[in-house]
Amino acid sequence: MAEDNKKIVLVDAYSQIFRAFYAVKSLSNSKGFPTNALHGFIKILMRLNREYPSSHGAVVFDCGRVGFRMELNPEYKANRKPTPDELKMQVPPIREFIEAFGWTLLEECEYEADDLIGAIARNFDGEVKFLSSDKDLSQLINSKITQLVPDIKNAFTERTPEKVIEKFGVSADLLIDYLALLGDSADNIPGAAGIGPKGAAKILNNYGSLQQIFADPSLVSDEKTRAKLLENRDLLEKNIALITLKTDLPDKFSKLEQICEKKAIDFAKLFALCDEYELNSIRKDIEKLAKEHNFIPPKAQQKSNADDLFSNMDDSLFACSCEAKTEKVASSEPTYYQADLFE
């Protein structure tokens, strides 16, 4: 790919793993090993490769709740439920598949995946697209950074600066304040009581950012609104600090383009993994891809019949049944049960 056409695609790993896990339940191989998240995530990765080819790509994982947010709010994300064992078991092979497809796998202590995606997006010298249904990440969107939001058919909707305004009623540069006013029940962040999506957008569009309002409260002509904002000032300033992404790039990622450059697909590894986990329908898809790359697929090992039930299904099978809820501005994102993934 030409130097002036550098593109990177970033994936919020756990958001997509959880979507895949809950899209199809009770799918396992002949050994009883669960494979639903494996299936769904690989389908997503292959679709990204097909529809958004890029010179660079990274799948970004969380390392747990970060210290500075816990200091701000000790109850941050404390409401999340334990991760099902059936999902935990699938994370290691998912990581193997990611690397075999040539993608970089990234994680960093004291950075949530959202933060690291933000740091990479802000510092990459080229076009950026990132896959996540997390509305917090929409604060990153600008002329060179686009969010890919999965829909109920597992296609990707591009969220641009214009789409941010269309969806939330405010521009991306006001989105942190907008979310601070609303709060986020999924992250255990309370909002300002009595202020909903329309009210939050009206306040910010009419009077400016919360920083501007707190610097000069007289900007808010409506007395009740002004009083409500001033009463909630401490809460709102804390929410802004919680929601604002940490976008300074860690020192070890200084050679970002080199680290995130995609490698050649390791077809031998992919086929070995497919055989090991009996992913027969995925194997068929990879066989087609291998032929396009002039790689002769090895003969498949003994099949399990369970996976063949899904061999003729399209990607929409793995669309998340709760995705509609993620598109409601007033509601929270899907509940990700990852509080104990890092123990």
pTM of the model: 0.86
Distance of CA 105 to the CA centre of its chain: 14
Rg (Cα) of the chain, in Å, rounded?
21
pLDDT at 278 (0 to 100): 96
| pLDDT above 60 for 105 | yes
Tokens of 35: 């494979």
Query: Domain check: are 265 and 156 in the same one?
Result: yes
What confidence tens digit (pLDDT) does each residue in 11-24 have?
A: 999 999 999 999 88
**Residue 81, domain member (yes or no):** yes
**Residue 167, domain member (yes or no):** no
Tell me, what CATH number does 101's domain have? 3.40.50.1010
What is the extent of the structural domain holding 208? 172-243
Query: Domain check: are 237 and 254 in the same one?
Result: no
Averaged pLDDT for residues 143-170: 94
- What is the tally of structural domains in the chain? 2
DSSP 115-171: HHHHHHHHH-SSEEEEE---GGGGGG-SSSEEEEEE-TTS-EEEE-HHHHHHHHSS-
What element of type H or E holds 7?
strand 7-12
The residues pairing with 11 across neighbouring beta strands, listed in sequence order, are 59, 131
What confidence tens digit (pLDDT) does each residue in 292-325 have?
A: 999 998 888 755 555 544 444 444 444 443 333 3
Type of residue at 261:
E
